[in-house]
Structure 1
Amino acid sequence: MRTGGRLAAAIEVLEDIDRRYRPAAEALRDWGLSHRFAGSKDRAAIGNIVYDALRRKRSAAWMLGEETPRALAFGALAIEAGFTAQTFDEALAGDTFAPPGLSAQETAALKTHRLEQAPDGVRADCPEWCEPILERACGADWVDEAAALAARPPLDLRVNTLKAARDKVVRALDKSGAGPCALAPVGLRIGAIEGQGRHPNVQAEPAFQKGWFEVQDEGSQIVAQLAGAAPGMQVLDFCAGAGGKSLAMSAAMENTGQICAFDADKQRLAPIFDRLKRAGCRNVQATAGEGALEALEGRMDLVLVDAPCTGSGTWRRRPDAKWRLSEKQLEQRQAEQAEILEKASRFVRPGGRLAYVTCSVFAEENADRVRAFLEASSGFTPVDHAALWQRNFPEKAGFARIDPALGIALSPLRTGTDGFYFAALTRD
């Protein structure tokens, strides 16, 4: 397929997402199944246009002067690939599968609209209702912080030190371009996709099948490290999900002590069993039954709460979720987070630690929740988060946004990671 055909296909997928209000990955998968003539390079290029259009939805619409699937796809190529009116004319000429060329109105808009002159919210590429929320969370940097959440993400891996050292995994993945992460001590990073390429399928590598590494964002690795799991500890991962942080803590604990990986949703927890087996984690017990936790009350050295949240910190990877998010959903998440924190706190022993994590950049889900918990629950004291960061990353001062009493915020702009929040409280 030529550029015109790929652009037409991307517009078709974006129309499907808009019409049926469904995830981008699902729409792209179905398009591929019904268009089997499209090769892997074509599918990758189409996917890039679709995801770029969703990440940059607001700025792409501003560039073309309207918010239609066509405008978003054209705008995405203009922003991410540097296409101009002339470039489009040349790329679409003679391509029978291409969409209609630029209209006079579209050409004029593309020639006169410059993103550096756009309103703050457009350059931030966020929903309008999120603008004050992001400004409150990020301060004067909010536009740049939000814009970084609209960029293409890297592919991060965590070396499983139970089975391999980082240099060994680097050698095994020598053709992938993987190199050490900037912060996570056992993290590897494959840079963001350039042009119309795609990330390598690292899960097909023998090293992955052997359990030498897991796919895990560097931010997730960092918050797991900050939690402080150590050999011999008794740990409860209270919202374990697919188990990424349980696996990271198991390696940090050198397969000693005990981790109880709990999630009330059996379906979310299901992938953990194969992952534990592949990684060789022997100190993790997974359960979806709350009854199994009764004997753990007041006994755990560490309780990690990876709370359900809006996922605003993962907008680079799930840009369609950004535009589906509503104020009502944010309110619902806050209520769930308060309830989960209260439940999880019962399991911390005196002198033990309660670690609260989200993949959100909203203060309403982060510092506000910790502050409210401390006001409602006696017996917990926040750690010195500035000192905690310094102990773990002594040469990286200034990378994260830190409130000594209320937590640590990671973001694509500052730390090069997804947006994460971490706070730790000690039980008196």
Structure 2
Amino acid sequence: MIPAARISAAIEVLDDIATRRRPAPDALKDWGLAHRFAGSKDRRAIGDLVFDALRHKNSSAAVAGGDDGRSVMIGLFFHHRGLDIAGLEKLFSGDRFAPEPLTDDERATLASDALSSAPDYIRGDYPEWISPNLARVFGDNVVAEMQALANPAPLDLRVNTLKAEADHAASELTAAIGRAPERPALSTLCLRLPLEPGTAEPHIASTEPFLKGQIEIQDLGSQLAAEFAGARPGMQVLDLCAGGGGKTLSLAAAMQNHGQIFAHDSDRRRLAPIHDRLTRAGVRNVQVRTPRPNSDVLDDLENRMDLVLVDAPCTGTGTWRRNPDAKWRIRPGSLAERNKDQAIVLASAGRYVKVGGRLAYITCSVLDEENTDQIDAFLAANPGFSVVPPQAVVEAYEQESMNILGPAVRLMSNGLLMTPLNSGTDGFFVSVLTRNS
């Protein structure tokens, strides 16, 4: 397919997403099934266009003066990809398979610099209704923070120290994919592969280092969140919302396979991948507690845990780099529902922490309503718990890892916040509490 034809296809997909209010992957899959002549490179290029347009939907629409797929695509190429009017006219030519030519109104709007006076939610590319929530966290810096959250994310890998040293894993990965990973300053165990425009991500799951269990796919923010929890060899640990086991594996490596981890999730389907992952990673100290009907599979753990980790259900606002269509599908009711879920899981988690033990609360959200507010509410209802000072959490990590976090992590009233702008990670919040009585 010629570039102009790919743009026409992306416009069609964007209109389908808007009309039917459906996830972008579903719309792209249906388009591919209906246009089987499109090869894998074409489908990938169309997908890249669609996701880029969704990352920058508000600003692109404002630049071009409309909110349909055509306007968003015009604004994307003009404002975010740097094409001038002449360049746009070569793509929007009206030739066979190409979008219709630019109209006089479209040219006039492009020349008007509509973004200069646009509100923050337009320039920052996020839903208008969530503006007060984001302004509460970021204040005058909200546009810069949200623009960073609209950029594509790199592919981060965690070195599994149960199977390999970091330098060895990096060397093995370089040999496997033909390019050397970057080594972010915040962690010696993170291997980073920045996105290369126009090329597909390497298929890490088929490489020797992955198959040998030397590396795991995990965002650096998620890696750091697990480290901040403070798991150590010999501990008794409960990963209460373990899901597929990403943080369980991190905890096991930090504990060097000594002690015991209990991995649980309320949805047995989310737990399904964990067994194969544990085997591949060489983890031997994890007991999976799969939920059973009419049975409390965790009742023997009450008041026994040195550490309870809560990777809480949340809106996922911190992952918008990876899921740009999710930010346009989120609704105010979703936030309210997640707040209820978070309160329930936090109350449950407190039951398992022993006196002197820790509770680590983690979300992939940047919203205070899911982060600091939840911790304040929990502390008000549970006076036997107190916050480990965020600065102390940072210092403990720096001393243990020999990495310096500095301004990469924002110290909140009762936790730590990581964002793409400051830490180069997804958005993550971490609060560590201790049980005093």
State if a TM-score over 0.5 links the two structures.
yes
| Greater alpha carbon shift after TM alignment, 307-316 vs 174-183 | 174-183
CA drift at 1:335 = 1.2
| Paired position in structure 2 for 1:407 | 415
2:428 to 417, 420, 423: 420
Using the alignment, how far apart are the partners of 1:110 and 1:314 within structure 2? Answer: 31
Q: How many residues align?
A: 426
For the residue of structure 1 that corresponds to 2:100, the secondary structure is: coil
Q: Match for 1:326: what amino acid? A: R
Cα distance, 1:93 vs structure 2: 4.2
Could you tell me which amino acid in structure 1 is paired with residue 282 of structure 2?
G
Structure 1 position 294 matched with structure 2 position 331: no
Which SS does the other structure have where 2:199 is aligned? coil
2:82 alignment counterpart: 82
Q: Deviations over 1:330-354 (max 9, x none)?
A: 1111111111100111000110000
> Is the counterpart of residue 324 in structure 1 residue 329 in structure 2?
yes
Task: For residue 20 of structure 1, report the CA deviation from its aligned partner.
Answer: 2.4
CA pair 39-80 structure 1, distance change in 2 beyond 3 A: farther
Do structure 1's residue 304 and structure 2's residue 335 form an aligned pair?
no
Partner of 1:344: 349
Who is 1:223 aligned against?
A: 225
Displacement after TM superposition at 1:117 (Å): 4.5
Structure 2: which amino acid aligns with 1:87?
G
Whether contact under 8 Å (2:55, 2:325) holds in the other structure is yes
Q: 2:189 aligns with which of 175, 186, 191?
A: 186
Q: 1:56 deviation in Å?
A: 0.8
Contact 1:52/1:80 (<8 A) preserved: no
* Contact 2:91–2:99 (8 Å) recurs in 1: no
Structure 1 residue ranges without an equivalent (≥5) = none
Which piece of structure 1 moves more, 86-95 or 418-427?
Answer: 86-95
- In the TM superposition, what is the alpha-carbon distance from 1:94 to its structure 2 partner? 7.6
Equivalence for 1:362: 367
Helix, strand or coil at the partner of 2:195: coil
CA contact (8 A) 1:247 1:281 kept: yes
Letter in 2 for 1:186: L
Q: 2 CA distance for matches of 1:181 and 1:376?
A: 39
Residues 56 and 76, structure 2, Cα contact 8 Å, conserved in 1 = yes
Instruction: Give SS of 2:325's match.
Output: helix
Structure 2: which amino acid aligns with 1:178?
P
Structure 1 residue 177 displacement after superposition: 4.1
Deviation at 1:185, TM superposition (A): 2.5
Alpha-carbon distance in 2 for matches of 1:272, 1:286: 8
Equivalent positions of 1:53-72 (< 5 A) are 53-72=53-72
Matched with 1:335 is 340
Of 93-102 and 233-242, deviating more is 93-102
RMSD value over aligned CA atoms? 1.6
Give the letter for the 1:292 counterpart: V
2:429 is equivalent to residue 396 of structure 1: no
Alignment-mate amino acid for residue 338 of structure 2? R
SS in 1 for 2:406: coil
State the partner residue of 1:12.
Answer: 12
SS of 2:365's partner is: coil
Q: 1:249 to 1:146 in 2, by over 3 A?
A: same
Tell me the distance in 2 between the aligned counterparts of 1:30 and 1:170: 38
Describe the SS at the equivalent of 2:192.
strand
State the distance in 2 between where 1:303 and 1:368 align: 19
Q: Distance in 1 between matches of 2:244 and 2:258?
A: 21
Provide closer, same or farther for how the CA distance between residues 215 and 116 of structure 1 changes in structure 2, counting only shifts above 3 A: farther
> 1:212 and 1:35 mapped to 2: Cα distance?
39
Amino acid at match of 2:269: Q
Provide TM-score, normalisation by structure 1: 0.96
Alignment partners' CA distance in 2, 1:157 and 1:79: 32
- Provide the rounded CA distance (Å) in 1 between the counterparts of 2:92 and 2:276: 47
Percent identical: 49
Contact 1:54 1:320 in 2 (8 A): yes
Q: Give the stretch that moved more between structures: 92-101 or 227-236.
A: 92-101
**Contact 1:124–1:147 (CA<8 Å) still a contact in 2?**
yes
1:251 paired residue number: 253
Q: CA deviation at 1:156?
A: 0.7
- Equivalent position SS for 2:241: coil
Q: Secondary structure at the match of 1:422?
A: strand
Cα pair 1:49 1:77 within 8 Å, conserved: no
Task: Say if 2:170 is the partner of 1:165.
Answer: no
Task: Return the letter of the residue paired with 1:189.
Answer: R
Report if the CA contact (8 A) 2:163-2:214 is conserved: yes
- Normalising by the residue count of structure 2, what TM-score does the alignment of the two structures yield? 0.94
Work out the CA distance in 2 between the residues paired with 1:322 and 1:167.
37
Query: In the alignment, residue 304 of structure 1 is paired with which amino acid?
Result: L
Are residues 270 and 204 of structure 1, via their aligned partners in 2, closer, same or farther at CA, if it must alter by over 3 Å?
Answer: same
| C-alpha distance 93-326 of structure 1, shift in aligned 2 (>3 A) | closer
SS in 1 for 2:408: coil
Query: How much has 1:4 moved relative to structure 2?
Result: 0.5
Residue 233 of structure 1 pairs with residue 230 of structure 2: no
Q: 1:193 to 1:59 in 2, by over 3 A?
A: farther
Paired with 2:319 and 2:182, the residues of 1 have a C-alpha distance of 22
Q: SS of 1:173's equivalent?
A: helix
Q: Which amino acid aligns with 1:266?
A: R
In structure 2, distance between residues paired with 1:389 and 1:232: 22
Displacement of 1:148 in angstroms is 1.0
Distance 1:117 1:248, change over 3 A: same
Residue 90 (structure 1) shift: 1.9
Q: Which residue is equivalent to 1:385?
A: 390
Q: Which range is displaced more, 382-391 or 364-373?
A: 382-391
CA offset digits 1:342-387 (Å, max 9, x no partner): 0111000110000000000000000000011101112101101112
Q: Deviations for 1:29-76, whole angstroms, at most 9, x for unmatched residues?
A: 332333333233222221111011111111111011010011122222
Name 2:129's counterpart in structure 1.
129
Shift of 1:164: 1.4
